[in-house]
Amino acid sequence: MNKKNLIGALVMAGMILLSLPLGAAHSAKALREDVEDEYYYDQTGYAIYEGLDARVAAAENLITVAERYEDADDGVEDAMERVEDYITMYENAYSWEEDHLERQVRANNGLSEAAEALSARLNALPITDRDAQAIREQLADMDSEQDKIQRSSYNDAARDYNEKLTHFPLSLFRGFLGIGDIPTFDGTP
């Protein structure tokens, strides 16, 4: 084999080796974009971000009711602050950073727990029937939106994406390329 053929073969082998991680990165990016499209509007037209915004609005309404009773019990103020912290965490999660969905999932899960704790704290106090009804309605709104979020086709798309990352060639290059899983909003990996 002459020197030109050897150099040509080496260049070709190098290009093939370079094309594998570049192709994997391109494929992963395209797959990820498809999943993120489902976040904005899933197969039924539901948008997870709209559901999350509705949950935050209901939590803010719950805080409005709680403000009437924050002087009646020290624990109400602490419980309100916890709800506000998760609202802030959710609002700060919006960014173009890679982990913004993960941060939204954590904020959403924490918001559920914090709202339930605030509700329990309020229901232990002598509150008006009107406020008790408002609390039930806000929690029902939050639960209804969470149910829609959990049933969204986004979650299936995210699981499918995560599964594809375990197959060649993505599995070989994902660590090297920094390709991570996409979180689900239904509590499943």
Quick one: average pLDDT of 31-36? 87
Looking at the fold, whether 138 and 81 belong to one and the same domain comes out as yes
Per the omega criterion (within 30 degrees of 0), is the bond before 169 cis?
yes
Mark whether 57 and 41 lie in a shared domain. Answer: no
Q: Give the pLDDT confidence of 140-186 residue by residue, as tens digits.
A: 999 999 999 999 999 999 999 899 888 777 666 666 667 788 999 99
118 lies in the same domain as 173 = no
- Total-model pTM: 0.84
Angle between helices 129-151 and 48-67 (to 10 degrees): 160
Both 165 and 129 in a single domain? no
* pLDDT value, residue 2: 77
Whether 19 is covered by a domain: the verdict is: no
pLDDT, tens digit (0-9, with 9 covering 90-100), for 115-150: 999 999 999 999 999 999 999 999 999 999 999 999
Express each pLDDT in 48-57 by its tens digit.
999 999 999 9
What is the pLDDT at residue 73? 87
Residue 109 domain-assigned? Answer: yes
Helix (H, G, I), strand (E, B) or coil at 2: coil
Distance CA 71, CA 73 (A): 6
Contact 23, 172 (CB under 8 A): no
List, as one string, the DSSP characters of 56-101: HHHHHHHHHHHHTTTTT-HHHHHHHHHHHHHHHHHHHH-SSSTTHH
Contact status, residue 59 vs residue 65, Cβ threshold 8 Å: no
- Which one-letter amino acid corresponds to residue 18? L
Q: Are residues 76 and 140 in the same domain?
A: yes
Whether residue 136 sits in one domain with residue 54: yes
Question: Cα(64)–Cα(45) distance, rounded to whole angstroms?
Answer: 31
Render pLDDT for 67-110 as a digit per residue (tens, 0 to 9).
999 998 889 999 999 999 999 999 998 765 668 889 999 999 99
Residues 75 and 58 in one domain: yes
Q: Can you tell me the distance from the alpha carbon of 187 to that of 163, in angstroms, rounded to the nearest whole number?
A: 16
Domain co-membership, 39 together with 105: no
Q: Indicate whether 124 and 170 sit together in one domain.
A: no
Predicted local confidence at residue 168, as pLDDT: 77
Indicate the range of 25-29, 44-48, 158-162 predicted with least confidence. Answer: 25-29
| Count of domains for the chain | 2
Residue 3 has pLDDT above 80, yes or no: no
Find the domain containing 186 and state its range.
26-46+152-189
Output the pLDDT for position 95.
64
The answer to whether 184 and 159 are in contact (CB under 8 A) is: yes
115 and 167 fall within a common domain: no
